[in-house]
Structure 1
Amino acid sequence: MTSDDHRIETRAIHAGQEPDEETGALMTPIHANSTYVQDGPGEHRGYEYSRTGNPTRTDLEENLANLEGGEHGRAFSSGMGAINTVLNLLSAGDHVVTGEDVYGGTHRIFTQVYEEYDLEFSFVDMTDLDEIEAAMREETELLWLETPTNPLMSIVDVEGAAGIAHEHDVLCAIDNTFASPYLQRPLELGADVVCHSLTKYIGGHSDLVAGALITDSDELDERFGFYQNSVGATPGPFDCFLALRGTKTLPVRMDRHCENARRIATWLDDHAGVDRVFYPGLEAHPGHEIAAEQMDDFGGMLSFELDGTLEEASTLVSETEVFTLAESLGGVESLIEQPAPMTHAAIPREERVAAGLTDSLIRVSVGIEHVDDQIADLEQAIEAAVE
């Protein structure tokens, strides 16, 4: 059942999946094979070696492509493996325009891996389309977007940014991890490639690491498939099975993530001990109107700053009980962290601070526990931090 006429809640459960023909098993089988029998030399039955292709992975790729409204999907062993595959498209001397508050792991692979291969990166304020336009050069080949950004929750006008990229004959790729395809579908807004860390909301249970790329382009998909096979950053069948398990509940989980995050953001915004709240669902957020246009809801991620010191922020994230101090995000459980010494430590401090990512910033992945318990936990942690 893969009809595009069905709504996303239905497609999340059925797209790319059919009962097993041999046994009638409803759930996608875990094809734990490395190799496949051939009827003659080179005469395989669709699969030959699991780095090249695996039936469980195929089901996941078709499911993800359908949810994003794309023609093609490719799954990888991590979100970074997916990002690396996009960078494989580039050559020495090429230039990339990206955000000044891009995810720390993305910043690291850009500056500490690919700059060594003579690629150049410009980090600009992606909320300002004029800055994106001004950063374009003759040698620019890629515009890399995040929205909402990690961890400042900035909102990028995807349609406007993609339009600038295409005016300059530049590929536009977007990391859609924070929103998930349930809330935002960048291909519909003009992006050429959508990237996901499946580890996060799509997996949803903090028990797998995987990534994905989705595109409408036959040519790009063919190249992604070549690098997927050649480099070998492919997920195992069990991780693919878990990701498919996750997509089935993505809509209901995201509804609760969003509902809880709105309540908590509003509560934090009114709290005397909190200096700033970063959440696009707040009307005062500078990207609120754009987010309301290009997203179906505002997501389960938020960040905030205490009206206090680095040490007080560190105390807060160490004193929570419902919220667990840990990296990553998007699971059913609530997580809390301090980006500067944790997820964004790879970015030099002066660059972090210049982009607005202060040492005392706290990032929250709002889970699906009862929101009253979440708020009570944050209240007692704030009190412990500022007493």
Structure 2
Amino acid sequence: MSSDKPQNHYSPGLSTRSIHHGESFASDTGTVMPPIFPSSTFEHGNPGGFDYTRSGNPNFRILESVLSSIEDCSYATVFGSGVSAITAIASTLKTGDLVLCEENLYGCTIRLFEQIFQRFGLNTAWVDFTDASSLTTITEKKPAMIWLESPTNPLLKILDISKICTVANAQKIPVVVDNTFCTALLQSPLKIGATLSLTSTTKYINGHSDALGGAICTNERKWQDLMTFAQKALGLQPSPFDCWLITRGIKTLPLRLERQVSNAAALADQLAAHPSVKWVRYPFRGDHPQQNVALRQMNAGGAIITANLKGNQNQTFSFCKSLKFFTLAESLGGVESLICHPATMTHASVDATTKAHLGIDESLVRFSIGCEDLSDLSSDLKKALDQL
């Protein structure tokens, strides 16, 4: 895989890079936090080269600089949402192309491929990339692109990104890794062979459930040019205000994630020990089917827990609603803890047969663990589980 990234460069620590954004585009004021640039248009010939916000804005550049810094890569492009980022990548493909996808992807990614892009002649094939035979499938099908998540949403399967990329790179097949659940703090897809690292910055990067955004990181100038073109030509750009919020949020990402991961590891053990829980998935637990891959590939187990409860859908909903400090809601990664019912929420648009095949049933719940006091979250879970 080619890279334009300079070698042997000095880089400060992740916390430092998260806080120091570099150019503020307001040097005359001495501002510590960059301002919001809400302008839709700019005077011709300005030093920053800006012309129209759809094709670039100071707040975009500031956030892109921070994101490429923490990802330790050459380029980052920001978008209006994670789905916008997915759309940007898909726009580089053509009619008849095949995308080889991990079978357990985010529901909106599946919906985009199956209900939107398919109408334009883009084909998808769904593969269990935890199965060793999937590597042979890459060679046999020769896809135009490979699309992965690890951990997957919501089942938290861990894919061996390095092994998949080794096969794909040998055949010059670009690999996309949705790294939303980890961020670059817990996993670095580009360093283990991926072409593109995609993140919904709505989630952990922002961390406060008050802004939408997406980003694509890469080390290849060719892909950077394609993403910048898609941002402009398809109108996939974010708002300057959302970029400002996300730039503010990212400054506390290392602190937030440290607390969230610590809470999640403890709560995963608590859930697994409760008689009302059938099984728990958490990447660093010994009972996770791909724990060894997770330990090698990730810096920590993350802050998402998936569990299957001993109850029907009504009982599962009652459990979710009875929690005090876990809000039943979509999304994840914020400072507040959330609980989600994937079968009727994030994966509602996935057909019943596929959900049954994957194991996304009426008793499955996904926890996004926040920054609250562990004792409060633990007590809340115990009370609700005891009543199940």
The answer to whether residue 328 in structure 2 is matched with residue 322 in structure 1 is no
Structure 1 CA distance, aligned partners of 2:336 and 2:58?
A: 30
Aligned to 2:57: 54
Provide Cα deviations, 1:138-174, integer angstroms capped at 9, x if missing partner. Answer: 5511100101111001101111111121122211010
Aligned to 1:332: 335
Deviation at 1:115, TM superposition (A): 0.9
Aligned to 1:249: 252
Aligned to 1:351: 354
Aligned to 1:12: 18
Counterpart code for 1:158: I
Alignment RMSD, CA only?
1.5
Structure 2 CA distance, aligned partners of 1:133 and 1:54?
A: 44
TM-score normalised over the length of structure 1:
0.95
Q: Secondary structure of the residue that 2:55 maps to in structure 1?
A: coil
Aligned to 2:198: 195
Deviation at 1:15, TM superposition (A): 4.1
The answer to whether residue 242 in structure 2 is matched with residue 216 in structure 1 is no
Residues 17 and 63 in structure 1, CA contact (< 8 A), matched pair in contact too: no
- The range that moved more, 165-174 or 70-79, is 165-174
Deviation at 1:133, TM superposition (A): 2.8
Aligned to 1:263: 266
When residues 232 and 364 of structure 1 are mapped into structure 2, their CA distance, relative to the original with a 3 A threshold, is: same
> What percentage of aligned pairs have identical amino acids?
37
Aligned to 1:85: 88
Provide Cα deviations, 1:192-233, integer angstroms capped at 9, x if missing partner. Answer: 001010000001000001100111100111111111100011
Counterpart code for 1:381: A
- Show structure 1 runs of 4+ deviating over 2 A: 15-20, 135-139
Provide Cα deviations, 1:97-156, integer angstroms capped at 9, x if missing partner. Answer: 111111000000010001111111111112124224325445511100101111001101
Q: Secondary structure of the residue that 1:38 maps to in structure 2?
A: coil
Aligned to 1:380: 383
Give the one of 257, 260, 278 matched to 1:275. 278
The answer to whether residue 175 in structure 2 is matched with residue 172 in structure 1 is yes
- The range that moved more, 116-125 or 140-149, is 116-125
Structure 2 CA distance, aligned partners of 1:289 and 1:309?
A: 32
Structure 2 CA distance, aligned partners of 1:75 and 1:67?
A: 14
Residues 280 and 308 in structure 2, CA contact (< 8 A), matched pair in contact too: yes
Structure 2 CA distance, aligned partners of 1:137 and 1:239?
A: 43
The answer to whether residue 236 in structure 2 is matched with residue 236 in structure 1 is no
The answer to whether residue 307 in structure 2 is matched with residue 304 in structure 1 is yes
Give the one of 195, 203, 207 matched to 1:204. 207
Deviation at 1:366, TM superposition (A): 0.4
Structure 2 CA distance, aligned partners of 1:204 and 1:170?
A: 33
Residues 173 and 191 in structure 1, CA contact (< 8 A), matched pair in contact too: yes
Aligned to 1:37: 43
Residues 180 and 200 in structure 2, CA contact (< 8 A), matched pair in contact too: yes
TM-score normalised over the length of structure 2:
0.95
Deviation at 1:190, TM superposition (A): 0.6
Residues 146 and 176 in structure 2, CA contact (< 8 A), matched pair in contact too: yes
Structure 2 CA distance, aligned partners of 1:65 and 1:112?
A: 32
Structure 2 CA distance, aligned partners of 1:138 and 1:179?
A: 29
Counterpart code for 2:96: G
Provide Cα deviations, 1:330-386, integer angstroms capped at 9, x if missing partner. Answer: 0000000110011110111110110121221000000110111111111122233x2
Q: Secondary structure of the residue that 2:53 maps to in structure 1?
A: coil
Q: Secondary structure of the residue that 1:303 maps to in structure 2?
A: strand
Residues 101 and 352 in structure 1, CA contact (< 8 A), matched pair in contact too: no
Counterpart code for 2:20: H
Q: Secondary structure of the residue that 2:365 maps to in structure 1?
A: strand
Give the one of 161, 165, 178 matched to 1:162. 165
Residues 81 and 212 in structure 2, CA contact (< 8 A), matched pair in contact too: yes
Residues 310 and 363 in structure 2, CA contact (< 8 A), matched pair in contact too: no
Provide Cα deviations, 1:64-116, integer angstroms capped at 9, x if missing partner. Answer: 01111111110000000000111011100000111111100000001000111
Counterpart code for 2:13: R
Structure 2 CA distance, aligned partners of 1:4 and 1:145?
A: 30
Structure 2 CA distance, aligned partners of 1:215 and 1:4?
A: 19
Aligned to 1:24: 30
Q: Structure 1: 5+ residue runs without aligned partners?
A: none
When residues 183 and 314 of structure 1 are mapped into structure 2, their CA distance, relative to the original with a 3 A threshold, is: same
Structure 1 CA distance, aligned partners of 2:186 and 2:58?
A: 28
When residues 370 and 17 of structure 1 are mapped into structure 2, their CA distance, relative to the original with a 3 A threshold, is: farther
When residues 197 and 334 of structure 1 are mapped into structure 2, their CA distance, relative to the original with a 3 A threshold, is: same
Residues 19 and 27 in structure 1, CA contact (< 8 A), matched pair in contact too: no
Structure 1 CA distance, aligned partners of 2:48 and 2:188?
A: 34
Provide Cα deviations, 1:23-69, integer angstroms capped at 9, x if missing partner. Answer: 00000111111111124xxx775101111110111010111011111
Residues 190 and 196 in structure 2, CA contact (< 8 A), matched pair in contact too: yes
Q: Secondary structure of the residue that 1:114 maps to in structure 2?
A: helix
Aligned to 2:98: 95
Counterpart code for 1:363: R
